[in-house]
Each structure stands twice: as C-alpha cells, then as structure tokens.
C-alpha cells in the first residue's frame, strides 16, 4: 500500500505534520513511527517559536528544536521552521521594549541568530506569521508588539532572514486567507508590494484550519491560490486540520471530512503547490483534539481522511 510520503513524492509534493515532544516519548512509539513512515517534512509545533528559543533577551535555548531537527534529518525528512516573527509567541520582554530602534534590533538579532543556528538544516522558514488583522480593511495588526518597529518591519524581517541564509526559502504565513475574501486580498496586496520592493519572499503559507463544512469550490480557493502563483510565488498548505461537527465521528461526518481533505490536496496540486502539512499527527495530540481534525485517529489508525488525501495524490 502507498504511504502519504510515497504518494506525495510521486507528485513532487512534500507532505507532513507538526510534531511535539511526543516524538521522543518511549511510551508512545506509534507517534514517531507514524511520522517516520508517512511524512516527508515536519514542523516543530511550538519548539521554534520566539518564546521557546529566546525567552530571555539574547539567551537562546535550542533544546527541543535541535532534537526535532536531528531526528528529522537522520530520517531524511525536511524541516519547516515555524515561526520567526509572530506576535502571539513573543515573550514578555519583547512586549516591554520601548523604542522603535530597540524593537528593530531585537527582531534583527532574533532572526539572525536563529536562522544562522540552524543553517542548512532548516531551509524553509515562516518568517512572519499572522501579521494581517481580521478587522475591516484587514490592516496590519495594531495589537502586535512589532508594530513599534515601523510599518516596514515585515520587509526588514525577510531581508534579515535572507542575509542570514541566502539559500533559504522564506514564507509569509496566515490563516483565513485560503479562499477569495477580504483577508486574502490584503495578504495578496502585502506580498505583491513586497515583490515590487524587491523583498526576498519565496511564497505564502495558507494555514487551512477549517471545518468539515469548508468548501474549496465555494470559497474560490483554487482561483485564490493561483493568483499568488501568478505573482511567481510558491504556495504551501501549512497547518491543515478539518474539524468534525459537534455530532462527532459518525460515518457520514468522517466521509465529509475526507472529502474536504481530498479537495484541499487536489486544489493544492492543481496550482503546483510544494507542500501540504497537517497541524499535528493523530487526533488525540491536536490543539483541536475535540474536533478530531487529523488523518490518524487517537490510536494512529488511518481515518477516511487519510484515504481522501491518498486519493487526491493518486488523481482519483
């Protein structure tokens, strides 16, 4: 039988998931076995966030992140770095900075240190995550500490990441921009402007935290992804999960979930995207475990959604 990895590799696509320290839990060997067998790329779910790496200014702690990178590298898996600049994962000391200059230096130092530390082992980075607000008009978030650094802090972040590793692939990553809507218009305008200013951006990550009522067709997702591709940018689905309705894991709900996964992967393939990453491994370890949103159930059995992904990868 094919695995996700064998079927995706045949299509030139990376497939994977976010992983936690469960990777090293000897009492839960199925977790690591599933990742090694099925995935070709991993993301540390929380281990590479600013809070985790630099909880104290200029004191870097790479323990979990290094362990994940070593584990993946030894098994031939790629690593997506997530995420250099995200307001939600900024430690308290970042929020306490007072001047634009202090904020710029802090961002620059964080990016330079982290990207340099991982070097060639992490060639893909979510440089800036969720900078666009959900409020009308979708301006850049006012509630981000990084706003203090000046409106060009996103451009600067990409330039600093590029300077630290000129061969790395650099992404802007966000949620709610999968279909054609006001938010994706704002993300589109943002990255189009970056390209016009010569900012080194490789692509856009579409998180794709959706539920089983999501319609790829109805949201115009394929058209949306294609307009980013038409700018010359890469596209990845970076944090996919599809929650079930409150009525739970009924056969009909699991089939609907499988159909959404199938449609998402088909849309991604149709625009020649480069990766599909689920936000976790098995349902029990998901940040939205109640919605049973992933491809493997609590016991690591393949769900109908797994078949949906394989089907899309095989063009069925």
Which residues of the shown chain bind ligand G3I in the complex (CB under 6 A)?
Answer: 45-46, 49, 88-89, 129, 207, 239, 287
Mind giving me the DSSP string for 196-243? HTT----EEEE--EEETT--HHHHTHHHHHHHHHHTT-EEEEEEEEEE
Closest distance of CB 48 from ligand G3I, Å: 9
Annotated active-site residue 38? The verdict is no
Q: Which of 45, 54, 130, 178 is catalytic?
A: 130
Closest distance of CB 315 from ligand G3I, Å: 30
Annotated active-site residue 178? The verdict is no
Which residue lies nearest ligand G3I, judged by its C-beta?
287
Closest distance of CB 62 from ligand G3I, Å: 17
Which of helix, strand or coil describes residue 113? helix
Please give the Cα distance from 121 to 80 (Å, whole number).
10
Closest distance of CB 240 from ligand G3I, Å: 11
Helix H or strand E segment including 15: strand 14-19
Please, which residue, 259 or 278, has the CB nearer to ligand G3I? 278
Please, which residue, 128 or 191, has the CB nearer to ligand G3I? 128
Nearest to 174 by CA among 208, 143, 199, 146: 208
Residue 125 near residue 158 (C-beta atoms within 8 A): no
Strands 124-129 and 41-44, by their bridges, are unpaired
Please, which residue, 52 or 123, has the CB nearer to ligand G3I? 52
Please, which residue, 25 or 88, has the CB nearer to ligand G3I? 88
Phi, then psi, of 302 in degrees rounded to 5? -70, 130
Closest distance of CB 118 from ligand G3I, Å: 17
Which of helix, strand or coil describes residue 272? coil
Please, which residue, 277 or 313, has the CB nearer to ligand G3I? 277
Phi, then psi, of 9 in degrees rounded to 5? -60, -40
Residue 144 near residue 187 (C-beta atoms within 8 A): no
Catalytic center residues: 130, 239
């Amino acid at each position: 039988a094919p695995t996700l990895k064998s079927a995706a590799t045949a299509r030139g696509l990376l497939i994977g998931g976010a992983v936690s320290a469960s990777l090293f839990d000897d009492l839960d060997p199925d977790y690591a076995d599933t990742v090694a067998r099925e995935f070709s790329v991993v993301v540390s779910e929380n281990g590479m966030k600013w809070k985790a790496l630099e909880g104290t200014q200029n004191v870097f702690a790479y323990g979990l992140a290094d362990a994940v990178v070593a584990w993946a590298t030894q098994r031939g898996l790629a690593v997506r770095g997530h995420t250099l600049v995200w307001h939600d994962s900024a430690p308290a000391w970042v929020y306490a900075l007072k001047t634009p200059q202090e904020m710029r230096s802090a961002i620059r130092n964080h990016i330079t240190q982290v990207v340099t530390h991982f070097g060639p082992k992490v060639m893909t980075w979510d440089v800036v995550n969720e900078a666009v607000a959900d409020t009308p008009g979708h301006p850049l978030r006012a509630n981000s500490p990084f706003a203090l650094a000046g409106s060009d802090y996103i451009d600067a972040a990409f330039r600093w990441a590029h300077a630290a590793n000129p061969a790395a692939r650099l992404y802007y990553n966000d949620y709610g921009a999968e279909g054609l809507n006001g938010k994706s218009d704002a993300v589109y305008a943002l990255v189009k402007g970056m390209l016009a200013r010569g900012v080194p951006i490789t692509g856009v990550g579409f998180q794709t935290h959706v539920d089983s009522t999501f319609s790829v067709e109805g949201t115009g997702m394929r058209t949306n992804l294609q307009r980013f591709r038409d700018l010359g940018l890469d596209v990845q689905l970076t944090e996919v999960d599809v929650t079930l309705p409150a009525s739970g894991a009924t056969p009909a709900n699991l089939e609907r979930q499988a159909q959404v996964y199938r449609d998402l992967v088909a849309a991604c393939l149709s625009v020649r995207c480069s990766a599909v990453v689920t936000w976790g491994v098995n349902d029990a370890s998901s940040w939205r475990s109640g919605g049973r949103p992933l491809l493997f159930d609590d016991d690591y059995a393949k769900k109908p959604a797994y078949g949906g992904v394989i089907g899309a990868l095989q063009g069925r």
